Structure 1
Amino acid sequence: MIEVKKEGVIIQKTLLDFENEGVLNPASIKEGNNVHLFYRAVSNGNFSSIGYSKLDGPLIVENRNDTPIIISEFDYESHGVEDPRIVKIDDLYYLTYTAYDGINALGALALSKDLIEWEKQGIIVAQITYQQFVKFSDSDDPKSEKYFRYNRQKDVQKKEGEKVLLWDKNLIFFPRRINGMLCFLHRIKPDIQIVVAVNELMELTPKFWKNYFIDFEDTIVLAPQYDHESSYTGGGCPPIETELGWLLIYHGVEDTVKGYVYSACASLLDLDDPQKEIARLPYPLFKPELSWELKGEVNNVCFPSGTALFGDTLYIYYGAADERVGCASLNQTELLKELMLNTIDHE
C-alpha cells in the first residue's frame, strides 16, 4: 500500500457572495515555487464561478482573490462554470470546465497566455441528445444498458423549447501534444473516454463527433474494474508525464449503504498510445476518512482535480465533501513502483 499523508484543508468557503456555499475541485498548475489554484466557488442557489488563489510552496496560501476570475457569461453556462482543470501546451494555458445551464452539463474551454485574461472557446464536446448517442454509437445492445442507466436524464426536467443533451463532463487535456496531436480525456458515464486525433480545436465539429461515436466502445480508457469504482469512473487530475507512462489520478465511485463514496484512484497510461492502460491500483489511493471529507454539501467525497510535484513529493489537491479544498501528498516514485506491481495483461 502507498503511504498517503492528508495535509489538511487548504481553502475554505468565506462570507463573500460568490463562495459562501462552498469551494471545491481546484485546478492547479505549478510555476517555480508557486502553485496557482483555480477552484470552483459556489454561491447561494448552487451557482458556480471560478476563484483564484496562489500558494507559496505546495500548502501556504500567499494570496487569494476576493472576486471570481471566471464567471458565467453565456447561455450555455448560465447556471455555472464548474470543476476546472488546467494544463499548459506550448505557450497557451488550457483551462477546461463544465458549463452548466441548469439542464445540461458539458465540457468547455478557455485559453490564456498569462493566467489572468481568459478567452472562452465555448463547448467543445459533442452536443447531442441521448437518442442521437444511441443512434450514432449503436449502443442499444445489451452490453450497453449501462449507458441507459446513467445517461437517460430521467430526473432532468425539460424546459419548453430546450433540449436535454447527453452530459459530457471531466474534460481534461494532456499537457503536451502526443505525436503532434492534441489529446484529451472526457467522461460519458460510467467510463472515461479519450480523444487522440485532433490537430486543432477547430476540427471538433458535429461531423467529427458523429464519426467519433461510431467506434465509441474503442475510445474507453478506464472502465470500472474494482469495488471502489464499481459504479463509475471519472477524470481527476491532468495526466502527469513520467518515464514509465502517463500517471493518471482519477476518481472512482462506489454505491454503498451510506450512499455514493468518491475516492482518488491511480492508473498508468502508455506515453505514445495513451488509449492503452499499462497498470492500475486495485485499491483506492485515498478515500474519505476525516470528518471534513465525510460530512459536507455532499458527504463521502474525495474528488482529485489538480497536482503539483515538489522534488519527488506529489501533492494532490481535491474537493472534500463538495465544500472545501484539501490536499494529500505521497512519494511519486513509490506510487509508480506500486503501479508496476499491478500491470495489465492485454492478452
Structure 2
Amino acid sequence: MPEYAVDRLVLLPDDIDLSRSPLAGHIDAETYVLGAFNPALTRLPSGNLCMFVRIAEALRKPISDGHVHAIRWQGSEGGTGGYVLDAWPLDLVDTADPRKFMMRGGGWKVMALTSLSWILPVELTPDGLEVVAIHYDKAIAPQGSYQCYGVEDARVSKVGDRWQMTTCSVSPERHSTTLYSSDNGLDYAFEGIVLDHQNKDMLIFEGLVGGQYWAQTRPLGDLYFAYPPGSEWRAGPSINLATSPDALHWKPHLQPGIRPHAATIATARMGGGTPPILTNEGWLTLWHGVEPSGIVGIYRTYWSLLDRDNPTKVIRTQHSPLLEANPDLTRPIEHQMYLRDVVFTTGIADGGDHYIVASGEADLACRITYIPKSVFAAG
C-alpha cells in the first residue's frame, strides 16, 4: 500500500460520551462503545466537514446466568420507544464472532447482535483533522420496528442542493436500506425504506446521470450462480446499479456494475465504499474487497473510475489496494481491539490537490487519509 502524507485516527471509542447516548437511562445494564467507526463524510455550508459515525453500543457483560443478551428498541402505542434486553440460552447460540451470535438449528442462518448501533454527527475542521463539535442532539437512532436492532453504516451524498443519507436498518422483519434527507447537511429527516432485504452498502452518486439519480447497491444471498469456465469474473457478492427519478423509488439497472475479478482472491466479496463523485475523467468510486480469512476476512479499499454518461462501464481500476488496515494507527488502543485486518472506507471529500478519505479502522475508530488526486490519473 502507498504511504500517504496524512493518515491518522481522528475519533476513538473513548471520545464518545454515552451519558448522552439515545440508550442512556433506558436499560438497567452497563454499556460501552464497542466501536465508533465507518463514518460517512460531507462538507457543510460552513466549510467544515462532518462525519456521521456508527456508534456500536454494547453490553459490558453480555453473558450472565447462562444467557447471552441483546439490546433491542421497542416501540409503544404512543409512538415513542425505549430499549429492552433479550436473553438467549447459551446452548442455543454460537458466540465465536464478537460482533454477533448465531442461533443453532432452524435450517437457515439466524443471528442477533452483541451491540446496537446509532449514527452520531461529528463536525470536523475543514481539513478533517480536528473535532469541532459532537452533535449528540442530532443523533439518528431507531424509531421503528424495522430498525429495532440498530441503524448502521451511513453514507452521505450531496445531489444538487440536498443531502441524501442512506443507512442500513436491522430487524427481524427485514435488513433494509433506509433514507434520510437534509437541506443543510446536518439535520436529517426520515424518508422511509428504499431497498428491502439485505441490500447493503447503497451509495447515491453525487450528481444526476441523464436526469436520474443513480446508486450502487449490494444485494446479499446464500446462493450465487457460477460464471462459465475461463470467465474473467468470479461468482459472489458484487456492486450492482440502480436508478431513480426521485431518490425514493429505485429500479435495478439491467447491466452489472463492479464484479469480483477471477484474477484475485482479495476481492472475492465486494461492496460499495464512498459515494461516487464526478471527476474530469468520470465517476470515482472507492469500494471494499474482502479476502476470505478466519471468521471476518481481510478488508481492503480499492478504486474504480466509471464512465460519466454510462456508469456501467469501468474506465480504469487496479487490483492493488488503495488502503489496508494499519496496525501502527491502532497500537495506542490495542487494549480495545477485537478485530484485525479491517479497513472499511465510507466517505470522501475534496481537499484541493487531494481527497480527504474517511474510513472505519478495525470496526473500532475513524481514520482520515489524504490521498493525492494523482493516484487516480492515467498512466
2:34 aligned to which of 18, 21, 46: 21
1:252 aligned to which of 286, 289, 307: 289
Q: CA–CA distance in 1 between the matches of 2:9 and 2:173?
A: 31
Pairing of 1:262-277 with structure 2 (within 5 A): 262-277=299-314
Cα distance 1:121–1:306, how it changes in 2: closer, same or farther (>3 A)?
A: same
**Aligned residue in 1 for 2:364:** 323
Aligned partner letter, 1:182? Y
How far has the Cα of 1:200 moved from its partner?
2.2
Pairing of 1:73-84 with structure 2 (within 5 A): 73-84=143-154
User: If you compute each CA radius of gyration, which structure gives the higher value, 1 or 2?
Assistant: 2
Cα distance 1:88–1:230, how it changes in 2: closer, same or farther (>3 A)?
A: closer
Q: CA–CA distance in 1 between the matches of 2:172 and 2:362?
A: 22
Asked if residue 4 in structure 1 is aligned to residue 4 in structure 2, the reply is yes
Pairing of 1:1-347 with structure 2 (within 5 A): 2-5=2-5, 7-13=7-13, 14-16=16-18, 18=21, 20-31=33-44, 33-44=47-58, 45-56=114-125, 57-67=127-137, 69-102=139-172, 104-125=174-195, 127=196, 166-189=197-220, 190-196=237-243, 198-204=244-250, 212=252, 215=254, 218-227=255-264, 229-256=266-293, 260-292=297-329, 296-332=337-373, 334-337=374-377, 340-341=378-379
**Aligned residue in 2 for 1:158:** none
| Conservation of the 8 A alpha-carbon contact between 1:94 and 1:109 | yes
Q: Any idea what SS the aligned residue of 2:376 has?
A: helix
How far has the Cα of 1:46 moved from its partner?
1.0
Cα deviation digits, residues 80-122 of structure 1 (max 9, x gap):
1100010111222100010111564221111111234322122
Structure having the larger proportion of residues in helix: 1
**Aligned residue in 2 for 1:161:** none
Q: Any idea what SS the aligned residue of 1:115 has?
A: coil
Q: CA–CA distance in 1 between the matches of 2:312 and 2:318?
A: 17
Cα distance 1:111–1:275, how it changes in 2: closer, same or farther (>3 A)?
A: same
Aligned partner letter, 1:38? F
| Conservation of the 8 A alpha-carbon contact between 1:293 and 1:300 | no
How far has the Cα of 1:202 moved from its partner?
5.0
How far has the Cα of 1:68 moved from its partner?
5.4
Q: CA–CA distance in 2 between the matches of 1:199 and 1:285?
A: 33
Task: Give the CA RMSD over aligned residues.
Answer: 2.3
Cα distance 1:245–1:182, how it changes in 2: closer, same or farther (>3 A)?
A: same
How far has the Cα of 1:8 moved from its partner?
1.3
Q: CA–CA distance in 2 between the matches of 1:240 and 1:107?
A: 21
How far has the Cα of 1:228 moved from its partner?
5.7
Cα deviation digits, residues 54-92 of structure 1 (max 9, x gap):
111221111112455211001111111100010111222
Cα distance 1:95–1:202, how it changes in 2: closer, same or farther (>3 A)?
A: closer
Task: Name the stretch that deviates more: 112-121 or 36-45.
Answer: 112-121
Query: TM-score, normalization: structure 1?
Result: 0.77
Q: Any idea what SS the aligned residue of 2:41 has?
A: strand
Structure 1: unaligned runs, 5 residues or longer: 128-165, 342-347
Q: Any idea what SS the aligned residue of 1:76 has?
A: helix
Cα distance 1:104–1:230, how it changes in 2: closer, same or farther (>3 A)?
A: same
Structure 2: unaligned runs, 5 residues or longer: 22-31, 59-113, 221-236
How many correspondences in the alignment? 289
Q: CA–CA distance in 1 between the matches of 2:116 and 2:4?
A: 33
